Amino acid sequence: MEPLTREHVFGQWVSKVGLDLSPVQHWAGPLNGLPRNMGRQPPYRQTVKNFCASCNNGWMSRLEVVAQRVLTPLILGSRGTIAPEDQALIAMWAEKTALTAMLLSSEEQRKSGYGLPPSVYKAFHECRDQMRPLDTSRFWVGRYEGAERQAACQVTPLTVRIPGIPEAPVPQGYAITLVLGALLLHGLFFTMSAWEVDTTMELEMPRLWPSDVPIPWPGGQPCTESSYPRLASGKMLRSTVEPVEIRAWARATSVPQSRFVAGKVRVPALCGRHFFSYPTALLEEAHRGRFYAFVSGCDCPQAYFLHTESESVRFKAAGAADGISQMYEDLAGEELFIPDQAGAFPCKRLPSGS
């Protein structure tokens, strides 16, 4: 058995194309849990030690060569065209990058079920001779116009839902979203061909795979900061088969149900034993596309730093009250006070598109 070697999540070439290399905060972890803080460091240096030398220096290296040639101008925002002979390789590169990024999560998180099953990595490895993505894959390519992330990778477990049939106990597919500069790649693959469903994507970006025609870039509607959470959560994927739906796998993506209590939204805390509340006015603002950051806590004692989103609140950090308060203070923007029964609820409006 060959010794394992280190592989970059994003190829080393990405750090040389002209993107901003200023240090940024890095995180990795489950979708609705607290991510692992990987420190503040220059981008594109993250590596995992899970691949043998022959793969790393062979077919995986060939993918990076093609990706560098084809994707560099798109990452920098220049118009371009992806030729038919490059499309399978770019889709395979996107899939390889996502599978590699999933290995950044901690061993504890992977043991608890966050991550892709080994069978997916085995099936992907078997694609190396054909140099194409998993047979059950679809990919779209588009433009990213957000200002808050220069690079991102998110994988969301999916299920194929049929009315009257309970959700599957395991994911039946995975949505993949990659952002690099101005480039966005979005796709999905099903774990078995039996679960394959013809699928369209809400932003009407051109299909990268399968395709046999040149693809001009950019095309379709751009993805913004405000639309990114829906896209990355698989909520813009549409089944063309009625009444079948493609949805995020609830066990991985859903937080415990919140309730309305005394004019506030009552939310279960991460500890699982306590609750906190925030004004319904923030929920109404979220429905209008305006999002806020605020601090709350529970009786553990534990403090939480949260952002509102279109359909929920997301835990951004948890810890001692002093540290969480400092994160809130360091957030740019004017502090607002929302009237509630306790007097006034402090929060900060997130930048447009956040």
The SS3 of residue 110 is helix
Residue 75 lies in a domain: yes
Determine the structural domain holding residue 206 and report its residue range: 4-251
What is the count of structural domains for the chain? Answer: 2
- How far apart are the C-alpha atoms of 257 and 263, rounded to whole Å? 16
User: What pLDDT is attached to residue 56?
Assistant: 87
SS3 call for 83 = coil
pLDDT in tens, 25-34: 777 777 766 6
User: Which of 226, 251, 276 corresponds to the end of one domain?
Assistant: 251
Of 251, 283, 306, the last residue of a domain is 251
Residue 130 confidence (pLDDT): 94
Residue 113's pLDDT is 59
Does residue 181 lie within any of the structural domains? yes
Answer yes or no: are the C-beta atoms of 221 and 237 closer than 8 Å.
no
**164-182 exposure pattern, b = at least 16 Cβ within 10 A, e = fewer:** eeeebeebbbbbbbbbbbb
Overall pTM > 0.85: no
In the chain, where does DSSP find H-type helix?
A: 53-56, 59-75, 84-101, 107-111, 118-125, 228-232, 250-253, 280-287, 321-330
pLDDT at 342: 67
Residues 26 and 17: their CA atoms lie apart, in Å, by 20
For residues 73 and 67, is the Cβ–Cβ distance under 8 A?
no
CA dist list (Å): 298 to 214, 266, 273, 275, 280: 55, 12, 9, 6, 19
Alpha-carbon span 179 to 149, nearest angstrom = 8
Residue 282 placed within a domain: yes
Mind listing the pLDDT tens digit for each residue in 281-315? Answer: 888 888 788 899 999 988 888 889 999 887 678 88
Query: Which pLDDT value is given to residue 353?
Result: 47
User: What are the average pLDDT values for consecutive 10-residue runs of the chain, which has 354 residues?
Assistant: 77 91 79 70 85 90 96 96 97 96 77 76 94 96 86 91 88 94 96 92 96 96 90 92 88 63 78 84 84 90 86 79 90 87 86 60
Could you give the CA distance from residue 122 to residue 127 in angstroms, rounded to a whole number? 9
> Which residues, listed in sequence order, are joined to residue 200 by a DSSP beta bridge?
238
- The verdict on residue 354 lying in a domain is no
